[in-house]
Amino acid sequence: MLRPSESISIILFVLASILFTKSNAQDSLTGIIDSLQLDQKYREDQFYIGVTFNLLTNKPQELSQNGFSGGLHLGYIRDMPINKQRNLAIGIGAGFSMNTYNQNLFVGEDQSNTTIFNVIDSGYDYDKNWLSTYLIEAPIQLRWRTSTAADYKFWRVYTGLQLGYVYAYKFNFEETGNQVVQTDVPEFDRYRLGLTFTFGYDTFNFHFYYNLNPFFKDGTLINGQPLELNSFKLGLMFYIL
């Protein structure tokens, strides 16, 4: 699996590529649109790619994030207009999401294979501690926009639910002479359910995601405190026809 630094490089490369492709495609369409018969049954924003900054919420007081925690999101949405003007639609799709969370929650296990959740003390010297997740997602959206068959620059507001399944994840802790990796934590909830809200104009669209269920089921710190970690993501979303 990719390290957080490799994930960031991929995010920046893909983002640059998609912006270049989108710009060239729109310039070409603008030049030939007058010579074509407009499609009055057009659909919008079939493909998407986004980058987010990932925040942990509902944290224990001692738990904190450090370094960069980010996400890369891409997929396809079937746009289904529900009114004659075609500015209101339902979107249902499938996608992929890769996320990293750099923080100080150590996840390990004792000799009886019982999971250990412990917040690393701020004075403890270690090299790395992060969680990476890889998800298959299914967005369900209510979509409003100001587009027409000839207008490729418009305002949009999309909101809805996002279903997800974490098919792979890794908790990674590294210190001098020691590494602890966990990829099978019984308390970890692979199913994700979140609320999404995206708004913007043309290329740049602000995107927000809030996870409704915590990362762990019945997880507790070694001091007995319930562990109800959640996630909030904010970033940019880009769409392609």
Contact 87/146 with Cβ under 8 angstroms? yes
Tell me the per-residue pLDDT of 162-196, one tens digit each, with 9 for 90 and over: 999 999 999 999 999 999 999 999 999 999 999 99
Q: Is the pTM of this model over 0.85?
A: no
The torsion angle over the Cα atoms of residues 162, 168, 169 and 174, rounded to 10 degrees, is -150
How many angstroms separate the CA atoms of 170 and 99, rounded? 11
For residues 50 and 52, what is the distance between their CA atoms, to the nearest angstrom? 7
Range of weakest confidence among 24-28, 41-45, 119-123, 204-208 = 24-28
Region 227-232: what's the mean pLDDT?
Answer: 94
Residue 151's DSSP bridge partners are 148
Model confidence at 79: pLDDT above 70? yes
